[in-house]
Structure formats: structure tokens, C-alpha cells
Structure 1
Amino acid sequence: MNRILIVEDETRISSLLVKGFQAASYRPFAVASAHEASIALGAGDFDVIILDIGLPDENGLDFLSRIRLQGVDIPVIVLTARTSIDDTVASLEGGADDYMAKPFRFEELLARVKLRLRAEPTVAIPDDTELVNGPLRLELLTRRVFLHGKEIDLSAREFALAETFLRNVDLVLSRDQLLSLVWGFDFDPSSNVVDVYVRYVRNKIGHEWFVTVRGVGYRMPAAHTLSTFSSPV
């Protein structure tokens, strides 16, 4: 029976989650602070973590970053009343596997938990050591990016997005495809997280490398088709 760690300080929501997961034949364990969550993680094995951001003793995102640095790779679903795109991006960049805003429907949360449990961890074996498009080069083993020989500093999510484009040069990628390939789950279709991250990468690598296909998504053109090679902004 799968064990679920619920990190939520609001008693009503915590109780609802415990009852819901018990009814669905899971073993939930609820705590109300980051400190209690750390103790629970050290004392037992969990399969999924449901994490609130607004904890009484520590910001939930700080807690998430800390346990990721400690090597905890348990899937984490952030459940919070903070709904801005900045909070969403911060959660995903901090190591969250999924994000849900309050108020929420338990049935949807349960579906996302099942999705996380079905996902088996895999070891990524690159089919090559680097991806190249003209002067743009990604080193897959070192996770470094270079443009005209100059290294570009990308976050982990930005690198994953750039890698996806370089693996699909000249192909139009829809927002839904990018969400699936880069984030690995079905995201709220009303979210603009893809557009936000494309903007981030454009600003670092160059706007010319990411063409907007209106009503569909984005495309990275082959370097030889560009009139000039972009330099970092």
C-alpha cells in the first residue's frame, strides 16, 4: 500500500486529505510543519509528498529545495493557495513534480498522485554527448550550453527546454507537447508557463532561435536558415 506524506498546516484540509486517501486505499501520514516533515522522511519511506508552500516554520519551497539537495527524489505535488505564474515557476524550478492551486477537487489530486506513482524512474542515457545547431551547442553530460563558444547560464528547466528544441530542429512544437516533454505531466491548459520559459531562454540565447507559430507553439529553425547568427542578449 502506497504511503503519502501530507505536509499541510491547515487542519481542515489536512483532515480532508487523510480521509480521502484512506478511502482510496492509500496510507496517508499528515504533519503540519517542515520540521515534522523532515523527521517523518527520516523515519519512514514515502511514495508521494503533498506539500503546502505556506508552512508555519519554513517556506515550503525552501523545504523542497533542501530535501532535493539531500537526495530525496520522492515525487512532490505542491498544493497551495498561491496561484501566480511566479509561484508556479518557482515550485517547478525548486524540484516539484506537479502543482495544484487551492481550492481544488480531491478527485483531480488523486488522479495526479496515481500518475506520479505510475511513473517509473528511469536513467537517461543520451544518444550522443552533445546537440549542435550551428553555433549553438548543448553538452548533455555536463549540462552546459554554448553560443559562439561563450557559455550561457541556463537553469535546469531552461536547459531541458533548449534540449527539446535542439532535438526537434525545424519542427513545430505545440505548447501541450512542450509541457509533456519538458515538465512531464498534464499541466493546466490555461497556464502560460511554456511562454514564460520560452521568453526566459530567448532572452539568454537570442530571440531569433525561437520562432512563434501563432495558434500552435514554437519552432527552432536550423541555423543555416537564419540570416545572421544570434548572440546572447
Structure 2
Amino acid sequence: METKLQKILIVEDEQSIQKLIEFTLQQANFVTVLANDGEEAIEKVLDEQPDLIILDLMLPKIDGLEVCRMLRKQDIETPIIMLTAKGEEMDKIIGLEMGADDYMTKPFSPREVAARVRAVLRRTGEPKNTKEKKLIAGQLTVYPERMEVYLDNQPLEFTPKEFELLVYFMKNPHRVFTRDQLLQAVWNYDFAGDTRIVDVHVSHLRDKIEENTRKPRYIKTMRGVGYKFGEQN
């Protein structure tokens, strides 16, 4: 039986970068589809139904952040890797908040492109298979199979990545994790990635589950090391 190749939509208006990514992914046995601006990107997502989108921030007509926002507003959950330039730290954070799954900073190596695409596809394609019916810490209750979270019996909303990080923390209470360990466990990176993505998601979790983010009850920062989850009285 012939294996169906996964399709990647590359949204990039700089032809040299677009062709580099296209060649790299084709060499890695992916099918590629191209878009040169934001409007075309949205059309290609609807027409081609790609397995993943590589989305540049600086695009003609509709910028990458707005493309991401529009897709998520339409409940299109296709994984998105954003391309950013150095110094666009706020754009990275906004992109993650809007629903992007990862980002790469220009310039990047062809090897990094293929590795990150595989990592995101591997993570987003894995079934949420767990034996636990629910996880409990203090007033926090999580149902992994249903992807539901309750705080004081009130439902909370999380992005898929935030939920996965919270579940990992709750399955490993009182264990200290470095940022690299969390990056490996939750994002499935098998190379040195940007650990700031961990800090961003921890911050989002605290905003939602902590009564006082300055004195967190659940997610503690271990200075010089990383993070530890465990109900603190």
C-alpha cells in the first residue's frame, strides 16, 4: 500500500527563501505547495488542506499574524510554524498567543527546517492516549482524554500546546525540569531549540490557573534550573 506523503504549505514572498525551503522539504519526502502573500495563503489552506503551514510574518496584502488569527478564528487547526526575523520577539509571542505551534528565526539552516517540521507533525499527529481518567492538584482537575480543565469546578480554555504542557507537569509532580527537558518532552525537539517558547507557555498557564502569578501555587520557578509543578500551600 502506497504511503501518502504529507503536504506542507510554504507562505513566503522572498523567492530565494521560498525555494530553499521547498527544495529542503522535497528532499525530505514532503509534498510542497507555495503561496506568495497572505490572501493566497488562506486560499491555498482551504483548497489544498495541507498537513502543516510554514508562515512568514512579513507578507504582502495580509501579514502572517493576521493570517494565523483568521485561520484559527475559522477553527482551522492546521499546525503553523512562523518565520520571524531577529528582533521580532514581540511578534513571536503574539504569534504563539494567536495559535502558532512554533517559530523559526531567520537565518536558519535547511536541517533545522526539516527537523522542526517533523517535530511539529509528530507532536500534533500523536493521539492523546493516556490511561489516567483525571489528574488532580488542589482545586485543579484535568481530564486528559477529553482535553478539559477545571479550576474550582469552572472550565478553563487552553491551546493544545498549553494543555499538553499542563498534563506533562501534572503527571510529573514535584519533579524539577530544565527548559531543555520540557522542550524535548512536550515539543519533541531532538536538537537545541529556543527555550523561550517554554517560558511563554508557562506564563500563559500561570495566567489561567494561578490566583497570584507573582506567588504561584502550582508552577514554581526554580532559579537557575527551570520549573517544578506541585500544589504549594
Would the TM-score normalized by the shorter structure come out above 0.5? Answer: yes
CA RMSD of aligned residues (A): 3.2
Equivalent pair of 1:64/1:96 in contact (CA under 8 Å): yes
Query: Deviations along 1:77-120, whole A, 9 cap, x unmatched?
Result: 21122644433333333333331011222232133234445567
Q: How does 1:6-155 map to 2 (within 5 A)?
A: 6-22=10-26, 26-81=30-85, 83-116=87-120, 121-140=125-144, 141=146, 143-146=148-151, 149=152, 151=154, 153=156, 155=158
Residue 192 of structure 1, CA deviation? 2.4
Query: Deviations along 1:132-157, whole A, 9 cap, x unmatched?
Result: 123333344362331xx264755424
Gaps of 5+ in 2: none
Residue 2 of structure 1, CA deviation? 4.5
Equivalent pair of 1:83/1:101 in contact (CA under 8 Å): no
Residue 26 of structure 1, CA deviation? 4.5
Mean Cα deviation higher: 56-65 or 181-190: 181-190
Gaps of 5+ in 1: 229-233
Give TM-score scaled by structure 2 length: 0.75
Secondary structure at 1:208 match in 2? coil
2:9 counterpart (5, 9, 21): 5
- Alignment partner of 1:214 is 2:226: no
Counterpart-to-counterpart distance in 1, 2:27 and 2:188: 27
Q: Over alpha carbons, which structure has the higher Rg? A: 1
Specify whether residues 182 and 94 from structure 1 end up closer, same or farther in structure 2 by C-alpha distance, changes over 3 A only: farther
Counterpart-to-counterpart distance in 1, 2:193 and 2:99: 21
Give TM-score scaled by structure 1 length: 0.75
